Amino acid sequence: MIKFAFIGAGSLQFTSSCVRDLLTFPAFRECEIALMDTNKENLENITKICKRITDFMDCPNCRITATMDRAEALKGADGVLCTIFNGDVDIWRYDIEIPKKYGVDMNVGDTRGVSGIFRALRNIPVMIGLCRDIEKYCPYAVFLNYTNPMAILCGAMQKYTNVEVTGLCHSVQHTIEMLAEWLDIPKDEIDYKCMGVNHQAFFTVLEHKHKNLYPKLLNLMNDPEIYNKEIVRNEMLLKLGYYVTESSGHNSEYNQWFRKRPDLIEKYCTHSTNWNPGLYAFSLNLRLERKANPNKQYEEWLDKEPDKNKSDEYAADVFNARFGDGKPFIFNGNVQNRGSIPNLPYDACVEVPVAADRSGIKTTIAGPLPEHLAILVNTTARIENLTIEAAMRKSKEMVYYAVYNDPLASAVCSLEEIKNMCDELFEINRDFLGEYK
């Protein structure tokens, strides 16, 4: 019986979607799904949901197990899927609130910038530890990571462990779905190439029946209703010429253009009509609401009729290609660059088209980014590499260097202010980080 281990299984969105997706493949209808979480109540809730999914999908021989013991979940696993959140909102809030004191206004703060860097410092040791357990208990398992900061965590695991690991995000497919709607073209008819780093990858090719779609997309920016849906991303399109993955809110904190002054935040990050315009502490506030009533999301899910249709998440397709029916699957994954994008660092973790089949996950040669985009993405990739080395060496100095060069922090703060901000975050994170020198 094929076994899947879900680490951090209490993450309702990803676990419920991926379990359902797995059961749409004949090879996995009699699998074991081992759910592991450190939160007992969340584990009990997600177990109920997964059992309901197996009933609804008519998979009586699918075995659902639940444990708070990571080793037990991993033993003999063929596939591992991770959605952990080390520190929860109790520490995440300081990642957002302390930078705000220094004028660094964060929207999500889970991927990059000073908030994403400290989140990475907390999570890298946990992820390396998880990989050590995979090496011990299921050394041939395929490990798919959904935890942010995606590129930093995957880069650390790919450099410092022997686990077959790639990171999955849904920003590429969600963005194509959105653009297809705007362009009034079925999404399956759009041909594209997307490349860069996670949350900062650009569609360098966007075509329909061999016709470039960018002129039509640029023309749509004259429609205020379309422009206002994603103000930051649409402004980047108008000025940079290419469309970027991930929401306007996320992208507003990855560069120096949109959040360095209150007037810019008001203009670009407040009034978009899609789900995340860029409001301060947007995701943190959602998490705080959820924490106040932790059972609500599970109860709401159980009150609805389950969906039998496969989602657009990649995980089940990747697992199926690797050890299911073996049908090759092409997707955007987070992998070591090694020349795929020649004008990004060779050892960067990039998000490029990759192919999965029975023999492994193979990186494609994506080609160079347009040079003006390469400048932006190089800064991101090099800061991410520096953060990985800082975590592995437990070096305060290297953390300072990373934040000194962060586009948003450096647009707002002096070097001394950045150092003081980092020192406050080091103190708050002491129980998670230990001693940095």
At 306 the pLDDT is 84
At 394, phi and psi to the nearest 5?
55, 55
Q: Report the candidate in 351, 386, 288, 346 with the shortest Cα–Cα distance to residue 145.
A: 351
At 88 the pLDDT is 86
- Structural domain including 128 reads 3-85+112-169+298-312
Angstrom CA distances, 23 to 5, 52, 168, 312, 402, stand at: 15, 12, 19, 14, 43
At 389 the pLDDT is 98
pLDDT digits (tens, 9 = 90+) for 50-65: 999 999 999 999 999 9
Distance CA 151, CA 382 (A): 11
Residue 230 inside a domain? The answer is no
Q: Report the candidate in 152, 105, 161 with the shortest Cα–Cα distance to residue 382.
A: 152
Distance CA 86, CA 168 (A): 19
Residue 354 inside a domain? The answer is no
Of 170, 208, 210, 271, catalytic = 170
Residue 251 inside a domain? The answer is no
Task: Specify the number of domains making up the chain.
Answer: 1
Residue 273 inside a domain? The answer is no
Supply 321's token pair.
């290609």
Supply 354's token pair.
């990759």
Is 170 a known active-site residue?
A: yes
Residue 144 inside a domain? The answer is yes
Supply 146's token pair.
């959904």
CATH number, domain of 74, equals 3.40.50.720
Residue 45 inside a domain? The answer is yes
End-to-end CA separation in angstroms for the chain: 47
Percentage with pLDDT > 70 across the chain: 100
Low-confidence ranges of the chain (pLDDT < 50): none
Angstrom CA distances, 42 to 11, 62, 132, 300, 308, stand at: 8, 21, 25, 14, 23
pLDDT digits (tens, 9 = 90+) for 201-254: 999 999 999 999 999 999 999 999 999 999 999 999 999 999 999 999 999 999
Q: What is the dihedral of CA 113, 166, 87, 130, to 10 degrees?
A: -140
Supply 129's token pair.
């530890």
Q: What is the CA radius of gyration of the chain?
A: 21
At 305 the pLDDT is 86
User: CB-based contacts of 34: which residues, under 8 Å, 6+ apart?
Assistant: 3, 4, 5, 6, 65, 66, 67, 72, 73, 74, 77
Task: Decide: helix, strand or coil at residue 243.
Answer: strand
At 24, phi and psi to the nearest 5?
-80, -10
At 85 the pLDDT is 87
Q: What angle do CA 143, 152, 177 make, to 5 degrees?
A: 75
Supply 296's token pair.
């609500």
Q: Report the candidate in 411, 413, 406 with the shortest Cα–Cα distance to residue 259.
A: 411
Angstrom CA distances, 323 to 24, 215, 312, 422, stand at: 15, 42, 20, 44
pLDDT digits (tens, 9 = 90+) for 102-122: 999 999 999 999 999 999 999
Distance CA 3, CA 36 (A): 13
Residue 303 inside a domain? The answer is yes
DSSP-derived pairing of the beta strands 190-197 and 142-145: unpaired
At 331 the pLDDT is 98
| Overall residue count recorded for the chain in this entry | 437
pTM value is 0.98
Residue 419 inside a domain? The answer is no
CB count, 10 Å around CB of 118?
A: 28
Query: Cβ distance 214 to 221 under 8 Å?
Result: no
